[in-house]
Amino acid sequence: MRNLHLFGRESPSSTFVKFAAKMCCTAAGQLLRSLCTTTAECSPKSQPQDSAIDSGKTGKWFILPPFSSTVNGTAAGKALSSAATAGKASTETSALKWVLRCCPELPRNLVQKLFRLRQVRRESAQEGQVKCWKVTAKDSMNVGDKILLPGSVNVSVTEKKELHCSEEEVEFIRSLVLYKDPAIIVVNKPPGLPVQGGIGIKRSLDELSATCLSYDYSEPPRLVHRLDRDSSGILVMGRTQASTTFLHSIFREKTFAAPDKVRRRILQRRYWALVIGSPRRANGIVSAPLGKVVLDDGKSDRVTVIEDPENTSSQHAITQYKVIKASSHGYTWLELCPLTGRKHQIRVHCAEVLGTPLVGDFKYGWQAHRKLKQLSQCNLQSDPSGELVDKKRLPLGLDLGNGSVSDKTPRLHLHCRQMVLPDVFQALEDIETRGDYDFSRLKSLKFDAPLPRFMDQSWNILSS
């Protein structure tokens, strides 16, 4: 009966639960009202239209710069990659994209949440009056519009801490520049310098370029493609948002779609590599899908050729090659043109398909290096060029004097020697001027990067 009585009437515990729930709802309501206070203050019904700017000064709103017409670099890059010779250029930009562009420090999911909670406002001048209203993430921006974010959001207005570099380091990084215009910067990346930061990496080219290669630009150069840490050669970076997205589209098309024979190759990269052995044919095309496999220890993985691509996750990869020069010592110089952009594509194709692993590639060619006999001392007495080897270490702890084929442990002999790509600055300038794109007369830019010192030594030694 006592249990029945408890079911028929409210027990003390149930009363406490209801009371606690009521208090939580009240607290949540107060919190929600406090969060929405700044939102309501910009409502046209609650205050004059011209007070939005004043509220930004008091910290209640964070006002972004006025929107200016920009080129859709992604659309332009895709059009160029698809061999479209003419078309209308799209300059539409959504409110979400404009916020992310002005505040790159803000996480994308946080910005999307602000739009979902309807806490973002747009201020624009219409009929001589300044109006302010709610805006959605997909709404298109008009020239002169301003986006207002709640002042309670930690927008991280403070600039990122720049990496401290000595004058010697700045001078060295700037000495790597092969080409610079208002849209792009092209550098000759030295071997041993990581392109991007990560675990155990103290200095990367991405961080160094922000300090050394920004010049008079307010934003640092942005990466659009990668090079392995131990490889060297041409690396392209975008200097503006439009040029970066434009280049991203070009490199992405190269990566995700094998080039059509009919289509004009707008992006060309030529690598020089020294390999152990010699391919059976002097030139040819390697077409072998690649995939990632986990090694037995479960802590590391590697890229390999996939024999059954239909039942195994893989990506198609195509590399064109030709023999530059063969040596009587058992080495061969190759020129390799990757027609797709896969991780370790050249290294795996050379080692597993051609049977000629790269010199210094102990990840994919360690067995060949174990069997390799070091050149006799008579061949290693001096560099045939007659130049003395500079043993002085460069800034950032780089050492480019050692690692040739004459050393017991050679460095990776893979260098991006040449690159051809469209004149990005001209393309973007034409779009802004005419409002459409016509790539029929667009010129290409060609860059050449000299070999690093140890590869140059290997060339001279093997030529003797």
Tokens (6 digits) for 348: 């795996």
For residue 223, give the 3-state DSSP assignment.
strand
Q: How many H-runs (helices) and E-runs (strands) does the chain carry? A: 13, 18
Q: Is 454 exposed, middle or buried (0-12, 13-18, 19+ CB in 10 A)?
A: buried
- Tell which residue, 225, 255, 265, has the closest CA to residue 82: 265
Give φ, ψ of 197 to 5 degrees: -75, 165
Taking 3-state DSSP, the helix, strand and coil percentages for the chain, each rounded to the nearest 5, stand at 30, 20, 45
Catalytic residue among 139, 228, 423, 456: 228
pLDDT of residue 201: 83
pLDDT of residue 89: 52
Which secondary structure element, helix H or strand E, spans residue 97, and what is its range? Answer: helix 95-102
Q: Does the annotation count 308 as an active-site position?
A: no
**pLDDT tens across the length of the chain (464 residues):** 444 343 344 444 444 444 445 554 454 444 434 434 333 344 333 333 333 333 344 458 888 888 876 666 666 666 666 655 445 555 578 898 888 877 767 777 888 889 999 999 999 887 778 888 899 999 988 888 999 998 877 545 444 556 688 999 999 999 999 999 999 999 999 999 999 887 778 889 999 999 999 998 888 899 999 999 999 999 999 998 888 888 988 887 655 445 554 345 789 999 999 999 999 999 999 999 999 988 877 777 899 999 888 878 889 999 999 999 999 889 999 999 999 989 999 999 999 999 999 999 999 999 999 888 766 544 444 555 544 445 556 788 888 778 999 998 999 999 999 999 999 999 888 887 776 666 777 899 999 999 999 999 999 999 87
Longest CA span, the chain: 108
pTM flag (> 0.75): no
